[in-house]
Every structure is written in structure tokens, then in C-alpha cells.
Amino acid sequence: MTTSNEVSMRSTGIREVSRSSASGYLILAIAFLLIAFGIAGLIWGGAMPGYSILLKILAITVGSLLFSGFYMLQPNEAALLSLFGDYKGTDRSQGLRWVNPFLSKRKLSLRARTLNTPPLKVNDKRGNPVEIGAAIVWRVNDTALAIYNVDDFERFVSVQAEAALRHLATQYAYDEGDDLVDGEVTLRAGMDVVVNAMKQELHDRFSAAGIQVEDAKLTHLAYAPEIAQVMLRRQQAEAIISARKKIVQGAVSMVEGALQGLSERQIVELDDERKAAMVSNLLVVLCSERDTQPVVNAGTLYN
């Protein structure tokens, strides 16, 4: 959820303004010509009577001044231009560029970056301590917000990512349980929903610094060491109970089918006591974890 402070930061922040620049190759040729003209005039001043000393010095000065307006931009790189502290715009052109020499230039990478957060110990919705970590792919989208709206946008991303992970973990339980509503999303089972919620929260938090979230994935999710063994035994117990339940259901169905088949084919007539004994023996055979040893009764059930 976006707070009022974040909304205020975005509304008062300086937004990026596109600023065009001139190709540096033509200006580079002009600068060399001016310097060459001035130097040649100083060296061969006698052969060039029409040129004054002042004009020669001026040509060299202007040519040298033009050199301070050059800068080089690589692909996915931008330059923030400002004049005496006043932001004038951002140039995203590639190659050798030239602008007013009095403009200061600050380069900024627009390439995708990866933040791999270390496992954080937080409490889930139930209050159980869990460890959670994530890998976040992000890039600078608004250069002006990244530079002028926050002090250090890389540290801002790191701190806000940790805060988002901690808040996310408190919204969901680690695993399913009897105390949760059927179908409720958990950190372990509802990975897609959790990741989408994390991306949205990261987007809301990073937008104050002009940062765009490219991708985010959970890289670590586990119970904290102090309760890991207890929770493992709990999961094992739940698995055993679930398996036993299915075994019993299957055994009951098999016994029911056996009694129904004997009755329909009239193979043997069983009274209630014999049916109870047969059901008991079949359930022991079907539900036992070990091989059963049959005992042959040479008499009758009533002896």
C-alpha cells in the first residue's frame, strides 16, 4: 500500500525532461580548426599581417572552450545536464555528444541491475519465525527522480526491498494449517500470488526514486533454525495422518466389496459375529505396515 509520504515525494520530485544535444563530430572539427587557426597565426604572424594577436588568442580560447562541452554516452546510459545547479534535462543519445560547455554533466547507467537480498528472519502471519530472501531485477526509469528526489538511490532500493520483504512475510502464513481458511494463499503454496504481490509493493516503494521493477523472485524460503525441526516433525505427522486416512478408506472399500461379493454369489452365509471377525481380520491385513502371519483356526468361532 502506498503511503501519503510516498505520494508527497512523487508529487514534489523533479521529473525527467528530455534534452537534445548536438553531434560531437562536427563541433570537434570546428574546435580543431579554431585552435589550428590561432596557433598558425601566432607562429606565422609575419606572413599573416591581417590577423591581430587578440583574434588569434580568441580563436584558441573558443576552440579550447568547445572541448569542455564534449561527452560520450554508451548504450543504456544517460547524462543529466544542469546549469549552475538548475536541472535542464536528460540526454539519452548515444555516441559523442556536445552541449553548452557551461552545463555540468552527470552520467547515469540505465542498465538492468540485480539486488540479491540476504535471507531475512521475519515472522509470518501466524507469528512463526521464517527466513525469506529474494532476487530483484531493477533499472532506473526516471533519472531526475533517482538523482534529485533521493540521496542515494542504490541504498534506497536496498532498504525499501528489505522493508517490502518483511511486510510481505507478515501478510501470509508459511504453510497450510487447520487455523487457515480453505484455499488461503500461503508463502509456500501460493508462490505466484506472493511474487505478484511482492512486485506490486516494490513498484509502489521504488516509484518515489524513479526505479522500475523488471522482475522479482523468492530465492530463499524456510523456517528459522530454532523451529525447523519442530515444524518438520509436524509436517511428517500430517503426512502420516493423511496417508493412514487414505489407507483406511481404501481398506474399508475393499472389505465392503468382499462382503458384498460373498453375499451376492451366495458362497457362504455369514452371521453378524462372523462378519465382524472377517472385517477385523481384513482390516488388520490391509492396514498393517508389516506382513501379517495367518493363524489357521481348526475349530469354529464358537469353540
Residue 73 clears pLDDT 70, i.e. is over it? yes
Burial bucket for residue 158 (CB in 10 Å: 0-12, 13-18, 19+):
middle
pLDDT digits (tens, 9 = 90+) for 166-177: 999 899 888 776
Q: How far apart are CA 69 and CA 64, in angstroms?
A: 10
pLDDT digits (tens, 9 = 90+) for 8-37: 444 456 888 999 888 888 888 888 888 887
- Spell out where 146-269 has E strands: 211-223
Structure-model confidence comparison of residues 196 and 63, the more confident one:
196
Structure-model confidence comparison of residues 103 and 256, the more confident one:
103
* Lowest-pLDDT range of 27-31, 67-71, 157-161, 221-225: 221-225
Q: How far apart are CA 294 and CA 302, in angstroms?
A: 19
Q: Global pTM?
A: 0.68
Residue 1 clears pLDDT 50, i.e. is over it? no
pLDDT digits (tens, 9 = 90+) for 102-130: 999 999 999 999 999 999 998 888 888 88
Residue 303 clears pLDDT 60, i.e. is over it? no
Which residues lie below 8 Å from residue 29, measured CB to CB, with a gap of 6+?
Answer: none
| Percent of the chain residues topping a pLDDT of 90 | 35
Question: In this predicted structure, what is the pLDDT of residue 231?
Answer: 62
pLDDT digits (tens, 9 = 90+) for 209-220: 999 999 999 998
Average pLDDT of span 168-197: 80
Residue located via cell numbers 531526475: 144
- In whole numbers, what is the pLDDT of the chain averaged over residues? 80
